[in-house]
Chains A and B, each alone.
Chain A
């Protein structure tokens, strides 16, 4: 029992230790991340142009109507829980960016008109139009996984950012900054110079 044999170093010792370290590093790196985040291949590509009926008006809207301004395209539905969480963020942001070259646009997907209007009646109407995307076909064009998802499109019609899940004021501000809409027109719009700095930051 007492005699000590030396440790004999073998190649598999290194293999075993290597594999273990590799796995544990990978798990540790994997722990903190958001599993819901899936990068979109559409970033940097032209946004799909559509022509759809509005939720609260009979006129059709198409994305190309807003050429020249940045567009915040928000997919939502009355049954989606996170849409309730981000509702006030959208209201406030839309108000904050009035008068700036940023157009908010809602896409009401896989919903009924009655439920969607009821949702807004209860929580406040969006100060911008929403289009109706009946069975979610537009959602497929935009590679929408679940709702809510928000696309940030620059004035040239290129998608510059996508956010999955509920928006926060910071996320809206950061991504609108990415569209470059505020930098260009900052000269002509004088009332809020401070926001420009924040955005560039």
Chain B
């Protein structure tokens, strides 16, 4: 990942850069693993992060459980870790919290029941807006064409004020 980022950045600006990025691959840590202990985030910790990021910290009201340092959030993370170790799935763990705290505990409303509205709305609105806009542009182009022709016929300055319905 690390290397690829560099290459992407380079590629964006200097088209011939991929070679430059590769040279920096050598990681000193890999060489000197002998003496100090290298701590790597465990698989468990990563799973906890993935789940805790989907839950809202109940007392902070903006942060996710994962980002929060509040006591409740810390305890929730411990519980999530225990549940993962016990073999529960992400789905089961989220349901556990949802059953006790309600949908409020989820960072986004579940796409079910009435909450479909919030998920469909953006696409619906964008579509509606685009349809309206194209329709409007078509009709105004037509009107403009007519005006142009009339003007050419009568050779008069535009007299009446037309409406722009936007």
Report which A residues bind B (CB closer than 8 A).
8, 10, 12, 38-42, 110, 135-137, 139-146
Q: Report the minimum CB–CB distance from B6 to chain A (whole Å).
A: 43
Q: Are B79 and A140 in contact, CB atoms less than 8 angstroms apart?
A: yes
Among B13-21, B70-78, B111-119, the one that faces the other chain is B70-78
Q: Are B102 and A140 in contact, CB atoms less than 8 angstroms apart?
A: no
For residue B9, CB closer than 8 A to chain A, the reply is no
Contact of A137 among B58, B75, B163, B165 (CB under 8 A): B75
In the bound complex, what is the Cα–Cα distance between A28 and B102 (angstroms)?
Answer: 25
Interface of B is mostly: helix
Chain A residues lying within 8 Å of B101, measured Cβ to Cβ, are 38, 40-41, 143, 145
Contact of A146 among B59, B74, B79, B100 (CB under 8 A): B59
Chain B residues lying within 8 Å of A8, measured Cβ to Cβ, are 163
Contact of B102 among A139, A141, A143, A144 (CB under 8 A): A143
Chain B residues lying within 8 Å of A38, measured Cβ to Cβ, are 101-102, 104
In the bound complex, what is the Cα–Cα distance between A12 and B164 (angstroms)?
Answer: 12
In the bound complex, what is the Cα–Cα distance between A72 and B149 (angstroms)?
Answer: 84
In the bound complex, what is the Cα–Cα distance between A135 and B72 (angstroms)?
Answer: 8
Chain B residues lying within 8 Å of A146, measured Cβ to Cβ, are 58-59, 72
* Segment 122-153 of B: residues with Cβ below 8 Å from A: none
Q: A145-B58, A146-B59 are in contact. Are A135 and B75 (CB under 8 A)?
A: yes
Given contacts A135-B78, A142-B100, 20 further A-B contacts (CB under 8 A): A10-B165, A12-B165, A38-B104, A40-B102, A41-B98, A41-B100, A42-B100, A110-B75, A135-B74, A136-B71, A136-B72, A137-B79, A139-B72, A140-B75, A140-B76, A140-B79, A145-B59, A145-B101, A146-B58, A146-B59
For residue B99, CB closer than 8 A to chain A, the reply is yes
The residue of chain A having its C-beta at the shortest distance from the C-beta of B98 within the complex is A41
Chain A residues lying within 8 Å of B79, measured Cβ to Cβ, are 137, 140
Q: Are B102 and A110 in contact, CB atoms less than 8 angstroms apart?
A: no
Chain B residues lying within 8 Å of A143, measured Cβ to Cβ, are 100-102
In the bound complex, what is the Cα–Cα distance between A40 and B99 (angstroms)?
Answer: 9
- Interface residues as binary, B50-62 with A (CB distance below 8 Å gives 1, 0 otherwise): 0000000011000
Q: Are B102 and A41 in contact, CB atoms less than 8 angstroms apart?
A: yes
Q: Report the minimum CB–CB distance from A5 to chain B (whole Å).
A: 8
- Interface residues as binary, B152-166 with A (CB distance below 8 Å gives 1, 0 otherwise): 000000000001010
In the bound complex, what is the Cα–Cα distance between A144 and B75 (angstroms)?
Answer: 12
In the bound complex, what is the Cα–Cα distance between A145 and B104 (angstroms)?
Answer: 11
- Interface residues as binary, B63-88 with A (CB distance below 8 Å gives 1, 0 otherwise): 00000000110111011000000000
Chain B residues lying within 8 Å of A41, measured Cβ to Cβ, are 98-102
Q: Report the minimum CB–CB distance from B123 to chain A (whole Å).
A: 19
The residue of chain B having its C-beta at the shortest distance from the C-beta of A38 within the complex is B104
Q: Are A39 and B75 in contact, CB atoms less than 8 angstroms apart?
A: no
In the bound complex, what is the Cα–Cα distance between A39 and B105 (angstroms)?
Answer: 12
Q: Report the minimum CB–CB distance from A158 to chain B (whole Å).
A: 15
Chain A residues lying within 8 Å of B104, measured Cβ to Cβ, are 38
What are 7 A-to-B residue pairs whose CB atoms are below 8 Å?
A: A8-B163, A12-B165, A38-B101, A41-B98, A110-B75, A135-B71, A143-B101
